[in-house]
Amino acid sequence: MKNLVISDIHANFEALQTVLKSAGDYDSIWCLGDIVGYGPDPNGCIDLLKSLHNLTCIRGNHDVAIIGDMDTKLFNHDARSSIDWQRSQISSENLEYLMNLPEKVNFQNCILVHGSPRYPIWEYVLDPFVARANFDHFKEDYCFIGHSHHALICRWDPVKEKMDWNSQVNGHYHKMAPRMILNPGSVGQPRDNDPRASFGIFDDELMKWEVSRVEYPVHITQKRIADLNLPEKNGQRLAGGW
């Protein structure tokens, strides 16, 4: 099966819609959280996800904040302002949807979390040291994460006690081998200086992983942010991917 793996949509409907149209044929979709936050279209993104077949979705820290289960003082000013606005806009049905999302999902040889297997909601895996510690917190062969908005392939070889860390993964197939932590990057707010929406395809028959990028109409999302008087930075950063 081909699994489309997406994360960190952040209420960017244009980016999400473009990814779904551009990803080609896939059998299931795994969403690694942060559907909401920052962007202008929380309801549109949730409604679109709910319409998809074979979707598995978990919660991220912004999703948790929207439903009131996380103190927004933990967020920076721009993120907090967007969360407060989205709380006033989100429908009761979509709020309930977010409330019912699990913190993690375990498959036969995969685990899905937003931040890390050690701290599923909040911890960032940004360096090999944090990654190494997290390999002790899951038993599956593969752990799929989001949260950092950076694509990643990280493998730990317990026999050689060697860490392979690769954040330059766009546009290439990579052969899967136990044990790995993989991040598809961000759909709606990339932070690797590439503004294109990022997503991954995990082929669990050929055991291959590919991260792809696709251009979307950034200006439309930026205009929506401006028209709604959301923080200016939330629109500016989309054009540069920072």
* Segment 68-117, tens digit of pLDDT: 988 888 898 889 999 999 999 999 999 999 999 999 999 989 999 999 99
Secondary structure element (H or E) that encloses residue 232, with its range = helix 232-240
d(CA 113, CA 128): 18
Share of the chain above pLDDT 70, in %: 100
pLDDT of 212: 97
Name the DSSP letter for residue 107: -
pLDDT of 126: 96
pLDDT of 171: 80
d(CA 211, CA 59): 21
- Other Cβ atoms less than 10 A from the Cβ of 88: the count is 6
What residues have CB less than 8 Å from 197, skipping those under 6 apart? 12, 15, 16, 18, 19, 186, 187, 188, 190, 213, 214, 215, 216
Tokens encoding 24: 């080609």
- Phi, psi (deg, nearest 5) at residue 57: -135, 140
- Read off the pLDDT band of 202 (50, 70, 90): very high
2-240 — its CATH code? 3.60.21.10
Q: Give residue limits of the domains in the chain.
A: 2-240
pLDDT at 199 over 90: yes
d(CA 235, CA 115): 24
Helix (H, G, I), strand (E, B) or coil at 237: helix
How far CA 12 is from CA of 99, 129, 140, 186, in Å, comes to: 20, 32, 31, 11
